[in-house]
Structure 1
Amino acid sequence: MTTESELSGVDLARQAPLAAREAAKKNSATRQKPKRRTTTAVRRDGREPLGLGSAISMMMAERGMAAPAAGGSVLADFDTILTAVVPELAGRVQAVAFDAETGSLDVAPDLPAAGTQLRWSAPKLVAAANERVRGANVRALHVLAPPP
């Protein structure tokens, strides 16, 4: 049996991390963590800071302006765009939805093989949709599962 005064190098190496952990626990218990601010900064004239998108939306609403609705045009012209890019899929794929905020166009093929071909030609379809419909800003083509 060894006593405190007779600790060898191995025993000292085992004791050092334990002592360091205990010291860290004591130091962290006495030190207070900084609290996060949950309130927003209010300027002297009562206005709160806004993000750029919110500020532009408010400005457009104040002036009676409206953003162009390109979503309907993408859905309406999808058959023409599909025929121009991938003519063999004409009549086999239907555009289901277009989300103008995210730029995602959802399409539904009638067969899994048509879905695979759509995924291969997705970059061409996105480029053709953006070229054909001005302001559409299609960024992604989501191919939905065909019906069973």
Structure 2
Amino acid sequence: MTTEPKISGVDLARQALLAAREAAKKNGAARHKPKRRATTVVRREGREPLGLGSAISRMMTERGMAAPVAGGSVLADFDTILAAVVPELAGRVQAVAFDAETGRLDVVPDLPAAGTQLRWSAPKLIAAANEKVPARTSAPCTS
């Protein structure tokens, strides 16, 4: 009387895995796994080195020494400038950002029609904003 060795669940799992691998090879599955992309994240928590220019501009911003005066006045007075130049757009267009280095003023109209009318009157609006902002404190506004 010969007894066959009992096959455990682990052995059955191994056999099933080997069979699946063989079937994948026959079906043309990839032989190697695709490589994962390694991404690096730069974290600025005060521990990594900074360039001298970045460190100085960060320090000036943190201490309130780099606030563009002209940009603040253009943003604060935009409603007044707009009402003087194009009164029908007053309250329908909002200034959201001003870049003092380039002189770019970003505005957002509430409706596409207001945006079209704003584009038509952009030269007059730019001239009025440039008059309001002294030229020595920043670059002139552009469209």
TM-score normalised to the size of structure 2?
Answer: 0.50
